[in-house]
Structure 1
Amino acid sequence: MTTLAGKVALVTGGSRGLGTAIVGYAKGVQDSKSECRSSVGRKSKKRIVR
């Protein structure tokens, strides 16, 4: 992953860091763009599965 969340995940280490980073990033996006909240949630779930 070349995204900021991916880098944070590598620093924190393990899948826990990855999940936490994605959740935090998703929440931040939701706060800034509440209208696209549903689409952002779906994308974050797909990333966690991968």
Structure 2
Amino acid sequence: MSKVWFITGAGRGIGAEIAHAALAAGDRVVAAGR
């Protein structure tokens, strides 16, 4: 069962890296950025 990640500040930096890592792991990502 995959996890769902809610990530704010995903436009760049560590937020973007976490979003990419979660997607690569097969999880679902809901990302928000400015």
Please state which band the TM-score falls in when normalised by the shorter chain: 0.3 to 0.5
Which structure has more relative contact order (CA 8 Å, sep 6+)? It is: 2
Q: Which has the higher helix share?
A: 1
Report which of the two structures shows the higher radius of gyration computed on alpha carbons: 1
Q: Which has the higher strand share?
A: 2
* TM value normalised by structure 2: 0.42
* TM value normalised by structure 1: 0.30
